[in-house]
Structure 1
Amino acid sequence: MCAILACVAVGAAACTGNGDDHPQRPDTGEGSIFAETLAAEYRPESSELDGAPFYRIDASFDPASARLSGEQEVFLSSEVARTEVTLRVFANDDAFAVNGDNVQIHELTVDGQDAEWTLDRSLLRVALPQAVEGGDAVRLALSFEQGVPQLADPEPLDLGGEGGYGIYGSAEGITSLAHWHPVVLPAAPALTDLPAQGDISAFAAGFYDVTFEAPAGYEVATSGEEVERDDVNGGATRGRYVTVAARDFAIVLSPDFERLEEERDGVVYRVFYDSEDTDFREARDLLDYASGAVAVFSERFGPYIYDELDVVPISLRGGAGGIEFAGLIGIGASLYNGDPLGALGESSEDSGLLGLVEGVFGGGALDGVLGDLLGEDGDGSMLGLADVTEFVVAHEVAHQWWFNAVGSDSIEHPWMDESITNFSATLYFEDRYGPEAGEEQVQAQLILPFQTMGLLGAQDAVVNQPASAFSSSIEYSGVVYGKGGYFFVELRELVGDQAFFGGLAEYYSRYRYELAPNRAMVDIISELSGRPAEVDELYHRWIEETHGEDDLGSVSDGGGPLSGIDLGGVLDDLLDLIGD
């Protein structure tokens, strides 16, 4: 057995594991329990994913010690494994780690043989005993143990956020286990450390077979579908969950969760909620938003790949109002009650102004400060803020198309999923409630974030750049979500609906289960439009250059959603609020 504590302490010491048996990769083809988690029209495609990583994990969480432990084996094809395999151990990254190095790795083997490996912060590099030739596959096995941090409740001015947006840790009675196990990276990363903002889940689509033991009295939401459940150890439960074509596997659990479940158009929706914070009507609203978004995007882009979708509250912070996982979307716990002003104490990356002003300037004190910004009734209706929960749900549902089904490098090219996803959420309002409602969301969620960014002192920047290149979360949100999202409004107007939506549907079909290269969707739309030179010019202006103030306007111009508001007075009041 490896001397783990010494290995973790030095951060990059080489260790070896013990030998074990070499079981075979399970059947994942059509007719398997994995294929059954796909929507009926996609089940035959499960056989085409035989080369995808296959994870089999047995894990448990103990809330008393705040420890998560498990055993993992992953089967890898020669397309992924050559001479070395790199895994990301998120709980060891600075954003997640508890008191420094957090994760202990035990008994790591490759095909049952001891293997040399190093753990350098969040990167686990495993040397293969011999080079993997085409057609061969390897089995990597290990056990792990790690702490799950107890996070403080979100603070109004918390833009940095502990625990990586709050997606790994316990707070407000909810434990969120995102990126909780070592995940195979499709290629060696350029950076050891993860970026301070943006998504970090640029993974290959894979199969998951997860057995998870939850404490007594806890309700569990996960990616995938539950296929077995047993009672063990005085009330604890062991559930088995499986899925396919998933770029991650999330677990969210709480002793306070209740569950609303309903099937609509062949998809089972499960909304988890705490009835003391969210009443049944609000839970039904969330289910309605999610099912409505699936219907809109299935019609526009192609059918949703799964036959189940979970909606759960997570105690988010650090600029996140929603978060996406395979077959599961997390919504900031304060947004669950449908009161946008009640969420002002938490920032919200996925909700336009909330991600820029609310997160910076804080909670309920804004009721009397923002005045005109909140509308005559004080409900945020003037800027579309009354619809913020519904917008966040639509945004996260859109990620089931633009993140999970079609993957991209969200670290190097975050616009590839976030910009199209934010545009897609405005499309949901257009298709469900009419063009005027869609335009209101374009103003509130695309133009307003960019203009507010300038109001707060951030500068325009190139959209297509790594997440780490943005100077702040304010700049990241305004440029990627705002300006990047509005690019698709301009592209649609240039090429027309037939080429635009035909191109998005073709992109979804061509790159489903793959990692799409940068600009792939634009190139497909360009080809269908027959106007490549004009599309290329538009792309470079909006995505590769900085003309945002000319194209979207600024507060000083007096146009856009902030026109007619005494912004000088608002800013003076906000600065007084910060001083208090």
Structure 2
Amino acid sequence: PPTETVTPAPAIPPATPVPVNSRTQYTFFVNLDYAAKTVAVNETIKYFNATGQSLDNIVMAVEPNLWSNVFALTSLDQDGIAITNYSLAGQRLTIYPAQPIQPGAMTAFTLSYGLTLPAKTYEKTFGYLGYQINLTDWYPFIVPYSGGWMLHDPWSFGEHLVYDAADYEVNVKVSDPKVIIAASGLAEANGDWTRYTVVGARTFALSASDKFKIVESAVGSAVIRSYYFAGQEDAGRAVVWMATQALGLYGVKFAPYPYPSLSVVETEVPDGREFDGLVFLAEKFYVEYNGTAKSNLITIGAHEIAHQWWFGLVGDDQTIEPWLDEAMATYSEKIFYEYNYPNYGNWWWNFRVNYFGPSGYVDTSIYNGGTFRLYTNAVYLNGANFLNELRTRVGDEAFFAFLQDYAARFSRGRATTYDFFSVLRQYTGADFSDIMRRYFQNQY
């Protein structure tokens, strides 16, 4: 599969982040029938061809179509004219416009479709539970183009989708007024609709329940909300405090928090899952919460929130180079404890990393990592070992200056491993080639 190998010029932001007015814009009108577990959607995509190529086809990812009898496309048009020449197979929707889309041209696609939601499985976030509906990767979106369309095959674990940053306006109506919605953006009234907006995001997620309890906080202008269920009050409050600590710290150490709000949502999953402005944490973490930061609730919470920077703000091909967001989010946990709970540093290393005795190359893809345990040991945990050794070698001043510049250069863009090391070498003259040889199978 194609991957980007853009190397930025020294001290000049790369061309990867496109100007705001050329980002793809998604506008949705969503009717959610909570009791029937169905969704009716009208979606408009304003697409600016920033590829530099003439495009005779457009590829969208349609994740709900990986389930049987879930996604039903009822209409598809381009600039008001019905499109008949398209194919939908599995997750891939390929559209063949009547005329190629020229470089620099803007066009609009409008889709109407229904979702008959599936029962949520433990490993996935998408679908319904008896008390909750999660809409994640629920809409068709145009995948990135880099010498070809970047849509990778699904795998049994890891994230296979690659996203461009885009602007979202999501208008929602819910059948039941008792249903509370957690979303990637802040709510405002728009006539009969509730409108959520977020700019420069890769995903837009929603979670709906008539059982949600909410605790709120804020860091600067960012609103933080913890959505949890009855009986988990202590954990629900602990989450909002952890999120407040994380946004405050990461906002100083990495870059300002990129979104207007953050929703942390309890659901039934094995651990956690990140989306822009919204993260899920496992129900069992709330149930098992012991009242201290020595817990999965706080550790994995700090990890998923770090993905707002390493995945959300700074994108990557998380299929081929997942370490760029997963190792970074794991090491961000270490930074979280270092600054907020300095006495828990040894505990974190033993609890999260050393216990598993991780080995394996950090630059492993989701496809060649072996089992999920071996994959996470290599990419997440050995990735944290690598970043810690790297930080020790180059020193804190260079390490954190590098992180800030890296985040700024690739803000709303997409970085590669080559980009990571290209920027790093501008901040240090230290030789870390021996560390690289131990942790990476390829040279960068």
**Residue 225 in structure 1 maps to residue 175 in structure 2:** no
**Residue 439 in structure 1 maps to residue 378 in structure 2:** no
Q: How do residues 32-47 of structure 1 correspond to structure 2 at under 5 angstroms?
A: none
Give the AA of the match of 1:448.
Y
Q: Distance in 2 between matches of 1:175 and 1:225?
A: 19
Q: Distance in 2 between matches of 1:272 and 1:64?
A: 20
- 1:466 is displaced (CA, Å) by 1.9
- 1:338 is displaced (CA, Å) by 5.0
1:515 to 389, 414, 437: 414
Q: Distance in 1 between matches of 2:117 and 2:154?
A: 19
Instruction: Indicate the structure with greater helix content.
Output: 1
Deviations along 1:440-497, one digit per CA (max 9) or x if unpaired, are 212321232345xxxxxxxx43321321222221111111111112110010011111
1:196 match = 156
Deviations along 1:401-444, one digit per CA (max 9) or x if unpaired, are 1000010000111111001110011110001121x422321232
**Residue 74 in structure 1 maps to residue 74 in structure 2:** no
1:143 match = 112
1:284 to 237, 246, 265: 237
Distance 1:520 1:536, change over 3 A: farther
**Residue 411 in structure 1 maps to residue 319 in structure 2:** yes
Q: Distance in 2 between matches of 1:74 and 1:527?
A: 39
Distance 1:213 1:536, change over 3 A: farther
1:60 to 31, 46, 63: 31
2:309 match = 401
1:242 match = 197
- 1:215 is displaced (CA, Å) by 2.8
Q: Distance in 2 between matches of 1:65 and 1:308?
A: 29
1:538 match = 435
Is the 2:184–2:204 Cα contact (8 Å) retained in structure 1?
yes
Q: Distance in 1 between matches of 2:220 and 2:34?
A: 38
2:257 match = 304
Q: Distance in 1 between matches of 2:330 and 2:113?
A: 36
Give the AA of the match of 2:441.
E
Q: Distance in 2 between matches of 1:251 and 1:199?
A: 18
2:206 match = 251
**Unaligned residue ranges in structure 1 (runs of 5+):** 1-45, 152-161, 232-237, 341-378, 452-459, 546-580
Is the 1:101–1:121 Cα contact (8 Å) retained in structure 2?
no
Give the AA of the match of 1:510.
R
Is the 2:382–2:439 Cα contact (8 Å) retained in structure 1?
yes
Q: Distance in 1 between matches of 2:321 and 2:187?
A: 34
Is the 2:316–2:416 Cα contact (8 Å) retained in structure 1?
yes
Q: What TM-score do you get using the length of structure 1 for normalisation?
A: 0.69
- 1:195 is displaced (CA, Å) by 1.6
Q: What TM-score do you get using the length of structure 2 for normalisation?
A: 0.89
1:170 match = 128
**Residue 118 in structure 1 maps to residue 68 in structure 2:** no
> Percent sequence identity over matched residues?
24
1:185 match = 143
- 1:535 is displaced (CA, Å) by 2.6
1:336 to 279, 283, 286: 286
Is the 1:87–1:123 Cα contact (8 Å) retained in structure 2?
yes
**Structure 1 SS opposite 2:309:** coil
- Which deviates further from its counterpart, 465-474 or 283-292? 465-474
- 1:102 is displaced (CA, Å) by 2.9
Q: Distance in 2 between matches of 1:190 and 1:271?
A: 34
**Structure 1 SS opposite 2:249:** helix
Distance 1:296 1:194, change over 3 A: same
Q: Distance in 1 between matches of 2:72 and 2:273?
A: 27
Number of corresponding residues: 420
Distance 1:522 1:47, change over 3 A: closer
Q: Distance in 1 between matches of 2:341 and 2:387?
A: 20
Q: Distance in 1 between matches of 2:160 and 2:370?
A: 17
**Structure 2 SS opposite 1:107:** strand
- 1:107 is displaced (CA, Å) by 1.7
Give the AA of the match of 1:535.
F
2:174 match = 214
Larger Rg: 1
Q: Distance in 2 between matches of 1:282 and 1:147?
A: 32
- Which deviates further from its counterpart, 63-72 or 116-125? 63-72
Q: Distance in 2 between matches of 1:247 and 1:449?
A: 32
2:221 to 266, 269, 272: 266
Is the 2:60–2:94 Cα contact (8 Å) retained in structure 1?
yes
